[in-house]
Amino acid sequence: MLGNDIVDIHFCEPPMHRNVRYLDRVCSPKEADAVRRSGDSVRALASIWAAKEAAFKFFSKQLTLQHFVPNQFEVQFENTSGTGTEQKVSILYDGLKTEAAIFSAENWVHAITTSPAMEIDWQVREIDKCFFGSRKASNESEAVRYLTRSLLDKLGLQDVSLRFNGRIPKLESENTDDFPKFVSLSHHGKYAAVALGWPAHLASPPSTSCRNFVESRPPEAVCFTCTA
């Protein structure tokens, strides 16, 4: 299973993280205290929110959750200062626990939650830049679908297509069984993100052209592979 969430940092700027009612509504007491004590409260709040949302997507695929209630998910991590580019956290929900990786850039925070032993490829890009050239996406959903197509092409998976079961995305191919078994899409503010996942016992992606790779453009466009 796989869940991801992208948060545009600008949406978490003051006074949001200083609003007691807002923090109490979306955070546990420990989380709210960590935000207030953090050296970068904006990024700490963005990281907590992204982890909660990613966990909701992860658990909802197993438990068919209908509504996202942020304070039902508790994020546990040692450092909310936002000084590193990657953090590992745990998220608790109704007696269940999952792990997440949180990646940070100057203007966004991206969280990915997976089952154990999962190989992940992900990409973040500005919505206005999801289409290259002069074409622009008509809406956020179109942008993130194109971003998925872009990442699949980078991995040499031109025969794999994105489909939807209701609102749940999935990947299909009539020509190969060697493709990601899980996909998660997200968008927020100026940014879109996609994460693809392979169970570790399956073969590695057919192309490694996107692994540990930062595109030759500003940090708003990032492509990366990690193993959960």
In this structure, of 83-97, 110-124, 206-220, the range with the lowest mean pLDDT score is 206-220
The confidence score (pLDDT) of residue 222 equals 58
In our burial notation (b when 16+ CB lie closer than 10 A, e otherwise), range 181-216 reads ebbbbbbbbbbbbbbbbbeeeeeebeeeebbeeeee
The confidence score (pLDDT) of residue 22 equals 82
Residues 103, 107, 111: CA angle, nearest 5 degrees: 25
CATH code for the domain defined by 2-227: 3.90.470.20
Rounded mean pLDDT of 11-29? Answer: 76
Query: Is the Cβ–Cβ distance between 177 and 206 less than 8 Å?
Result: no
pLDDT band at residue 227, thresholds of 50, 70 and 90?
Answer: very low
The confidence score (pLDDT) of residue 83 equals 45
Q: Which residues pair with 194 in a beta bridge?
A: 123, 185
In this structure, of 28-32, 103-107, 146-150, 207-211, the range with the lowest mean pLDDT score is 207-211
Of 212 and 11, more confident: 11
Containing H/E element for 146?
helix 140-154
The confidence score (pLDDT) of residue 211 equals 35
Q: What does 21-80 look like in DSSP terms, one character per residue?
A: HHHHHHS-HHHHHHHHHSSSHHHHHHHHHHHHHHHHHHHHHHH---S--GGGEEEE-S--
Nearest to 5 by CA among 125, 102, 135, 142: 102
Alpha-carbon distance of 121 to 155, in angstroms, equals: 9
Query: So where are the chain's domains?
Result: 2-227
